[in-house]
């Protein structure tokens, strides 16, 4: 038969079932072949710092919602390691295309959390400049941003730029046609792109077992002829190391790959959700015992990388972040309603003059 296989040995594409884990539940480091840790002390501390900040910022998000300051908020509690570890593997010139739950990744990219929250407050539909931090717009229509990530990566490649794009999405998102088309395009064009799936076990109320019958999410990579990796998403070192490998692969021109970071959403889907309807306290407790921060803390303490001064410094920073978020959000006034007509077109239609005039009249009549 002439229809020869398109890559030499598909068996090599089969992901290992065992997720890469570097730090066990007790915070003990185990080296894993192929996943060397190229981290300095400063990096270890930074990973910890980002996780703690993410948790604090997240908590502040929930609180602001409870206080009526945000319409809704989507918590990342429990996913700190997965988010931070993934994004930490990127260089400055690289880009992240997030969904709506990526406050942790946003922090790593240097995005002001207060700006992210404006979406949830409803001040504007997005408030940060993606070009400043290389962090794309939050994307609510599930899986759609994966295609933007691929297109961006195709652009970078065409332009000959050293630039890797990481697209975050969820376990549920893997069912959408757009996720499929994105992975296929990326593979076909060898786009420097990493698909980073936070498998937090649920799509709102729907558990992974009802979402797919794939052996694992990582196995979906086989159908695109790209590598699929699994990692313990509650182990920040594994999340980092696996992401790093995928990022370096993309950077070296070897094409895209898919990462399944196995984690758990400890909070409700959003503040509007009631998770008691679909999951048990036992399940929650089980995952609580695998807390990503506690585990890393044990490790760092043992390594002598975590002293009181550093803790205090992070604590101060976290407090400052939270304070600034409250400041930026609390009773933040909406902007000028007339801005509704801005940014829709660079060259707006003539009819906007009439509509703007109508709104102006309405505003004056108030």
Partner 1 sequence: MAITMAQALNTALHDAMEADDKVVMFGEDVGTLGGVFRITDKLQERFGEKRCFDTPLAESGIVGTAIGMAMYGYKPVVEMQFDGFTYPAFEQIVSHLAKMPNRSRGTVQLPVVVRIPYGGGIGAVEHHSESPEAFFSHVAGLKIVSPGTPSDGYSLLRRAIDSPDPVIFFEPKRRYWLKEDAELPVTTEPFGTAVVRRQGTTATLLAYGPMVRTALDTAKAAEEEGWDLEVVDLRTLNPFDAKTVVASVAKTGHAVVIHEAQVFAGFGAEVAAQITERAFYDLEAPVLRVGGFDVPYPAAKLEEFFLPDTDRILDAVERSLSF
By the criterion CB under 6 A, which residues form the site for ligand TPP? 101, 140-142, 169-173, 200, 202-204, 265, 269
Q: Which does 200 bind (CB under 5 to 8 A by kind): ligand TPP, partner 1, a copy of itself, none?
A: ligand TPP
Burial class (CB in 10 A: 0-12, 13-18, 19+), 326: middle
**Residue from 51, 138, 194, 208 that binds a copy of itself (CB under 8 A)?**
208
Q: Is 233 in the site for Mg ion (CB under 5 A)?
A: no
Q: Distances in Å between the alpha carbon of 283 and those of 55, 126, 211, 233, 266?
A: 21, 35, 18, 17, 10
Q: Distances in Å between the alpha carbon of 356 and those of 124, 129, 346, 353, 363?
A: 18, 26, 16, 5, 10
Binding mask 54-93 for a copy of itself (x = CB under 8 A): ----------------------------------------
- Is 30 one of the catalytic residues? no
Q: Which does 300 bind (CB under 5 to 8 A by kind): a copy of itself, Mg ion, partner 1, none?
A: none
Q: Shortest Cβ distance from residue 318 to ligand TPP (Å)?
A: 23
Burial class (CB in 10 A: 0-12, 13-18, 19+), 332: middle
Tell me the C-alpha distance between 24 and 26, whole Å: 5
Binding mask 133-172 for Mg ion (x = CB under 5 A): -------------------------------------xxx
Q: Is 271 in the site for partner 1 (CB under 8 A)?
A: no
Q: Distances in Å between the alpha carbon of 312 and those of 51, 299, 302?
A: 15, 18, 18
Name the residue whose CB lies closest to Mg ion.
170
Q: Is 213 in the site for a copy of itself (CB under 8 A)?
A: yes
Active site residues: 265, 269, 278
């Amino acid at each position: 038969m002439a229809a020869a296989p398109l890559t030499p040995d598909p068996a090599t594409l089969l992901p290992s079932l065992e997720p890469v884990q570097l730090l066990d539940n007790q915070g003990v480091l185990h080296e894993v072949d192929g996943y060397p840790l190229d981290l300095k002390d400063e990096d270890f501390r930074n990973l910890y710092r980002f996780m703690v900040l993410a948790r604090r910022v997240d908590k502040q998000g929930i609180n602001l919602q409870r206080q009526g300051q945000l319409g809704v908020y989507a918590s990342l509690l429990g996913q700190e390691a997965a988010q931070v570890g993934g994004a930490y593997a990127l260089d400055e010139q690289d880009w992240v295309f997030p969904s709506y739950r990526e406050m942790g990744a946003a922090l790593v990219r240097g995005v002001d959390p207060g700006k992210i929250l404006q979406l949830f407050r409803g001040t504007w539909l997005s408030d940060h400049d993606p070009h400043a931090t290389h962090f794309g717009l939050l994307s609510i229509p599930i899986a759609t941003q994966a295609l933007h990530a691929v297109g961006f990566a195709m652009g970078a490649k065409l332009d000959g730029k050293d630039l890797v794009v990481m697209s975050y999405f969820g376990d549920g998102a893997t069912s959408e046609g757009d996720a499929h088309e994105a992975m296929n395009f990326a593979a076909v064009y060898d786009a420097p792109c990493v698909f980073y799936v936070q498998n937090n076990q649920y799509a709102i109320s729907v558990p992974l077992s009802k979402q797919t019958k794939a052996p694992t999410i990582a196995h979906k990579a086989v159908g695109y002829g790209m590598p699929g990796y699994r990692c313990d998403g509650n182990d920040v070192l594994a999340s980092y190391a696996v992401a790093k490998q995928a990022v370096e692969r993309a950077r070296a021109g070897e094409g895209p790959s898919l990462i399944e970071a196995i984690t758990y959403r400890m909070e409700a889907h959003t503040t509007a959700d009631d998770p008691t309807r679909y999951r048990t306290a036992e399940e929650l407790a089980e995952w609580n015992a695998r807390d990503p921060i506690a585990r890393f803390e044990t490790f760092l303490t043992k390594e002598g990388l975590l002293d009181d001064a550093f803790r205090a410094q992070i604590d101060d920073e976290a407090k400052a972040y939270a304070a600034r978020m409250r400041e930026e959000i609390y009773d933040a006034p909406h902007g000028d309603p007339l801005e509704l007509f801005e940014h829709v077109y660079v060259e707006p239609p003539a009819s906007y003059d009439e509509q703007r005039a109508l709104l102006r009249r309405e505003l004056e009549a108030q």
